[in-house]
Amino acid sequence: LLATCLTPKQFPPADIRQTPDQIKSDVERRGEFIKFLTKEVESATYRDVSDVEAFVKWLDGELSSLVDERAVLKHFPQWPERKADALREAACTYRDLKSLESEVSRFVDNPKEPLTQALRRIQALQDRLEQSIANIERMRESTIKRYKDLQIPWEWMLDTGLLGQMKLSSLKLAREYMKRIANELQADECSCEENLKLQGVRYAYRVHQFAGGFDAEAIQAFEKLKKAGLDSEK
């Protein structure tokens, strides 16, 4: 996820690539503007990463007025490229994670949807959640060190921050998954009860490990799944 959030510099399509004269004109005319933005980036210090997101949105809007961001800024060696890129990376990663967290929190199972399709939809969302977290955890130590050096908020990357919240949000998916299987078993319309029970237990264990345990609602859903499984054997 971090790699995909490295905001590329502006490369206009070949058919509208800016001419050297246009770039030279920007370099000559926008010096004070670049100096102003340089100071803004260098002095940018925030306690909350959501403020970084707002700052980056503003910064990108300002830089979009250049004919070619990369080509113009390379003429200004004082431009704090390392910090600007890190701010963009943090903002993009945070935005993508919040979007995914929101998608998980809004998830609602549709009882009319075929069982296999419904379970696959939940699993696909869980896969995305786990992959996003794993990508960040893999680079977390070095990323946090870099953010600290550049005075960029980093606490949200800890298990006590947004990442921890996202792991807990997977419990909703587990509840929906187990409830759907339990309802299917109780309806006595499934010809593969044993496989279905096993599938439910495996998924429950997967989320239990990922989230670091179950909350009360997830425990209740698991008990309902077990009861439905036992009843189906009678």
- Tell me, yes or no, whether 49 and 164 share the same domain: no
pLDDT in tens, 204-218: 999 999 999 999 999
Domain annotation covers residue 93: no
In a domain, 228, yes or no: yes
For residue 49, is it within any domain? yes
**Contact of 67 with 22, CB cutoff 8 Å:** yes
User: Does 123 map to a domain?
Assistant: yes
Q: Quick one: 78 and 112 in the same domain?
A: no
DSSP count for the chain of H helices, then E strands: 9, 0
Q: Is residue 102 part of a domain?
A: no
Identify whether residues 24 and 132 lie together within a single domain: no
State yes or no: pLDDT of 129 exceeds 90.
yes
pLDDT digits (tens, 9 = 90+) for 76-119: 999 999 999 999 999 999 999 999 999 999 999 998 999 999 99
CA atoms within 13 Å, Cβ hemisphere of 174: 30
- Please indicate, yes or no, whether residues 79 and 116 belong to a single structural domain of this protein: no
Residues 161-172 pLDDT 10s: 999 999 999 999
Report if residue 99 sits inside a domain: no
| 98 part of a folded domain | no
Residues 28 and 71 in one domain: yes
Query: Does 121 lie in the same domain as 74?
Result: no
pLDDT at 228: 81
What's the confidence (pLDDT) of residue 14? 43
Neighbours of 229 (CB within 10 A): 20
pLDDT tens digits, one per residue of 71-80: 999 999 999 9
Q: Tell me how far the alpha carbon of residue 186 is from its chain's centroid.
A: 36
Counted domains in the chain = 2
Co-location of 124 and 216 in the same domain:
yes
- Domain, as residue range, for 205: 107-233
Is residue 125 pLDDT above 50, yes or no? yes
Final residue belonging to a domain, choices 57, 88, 119: 88
Query: For residue 96, is it within any domain?
Result: no
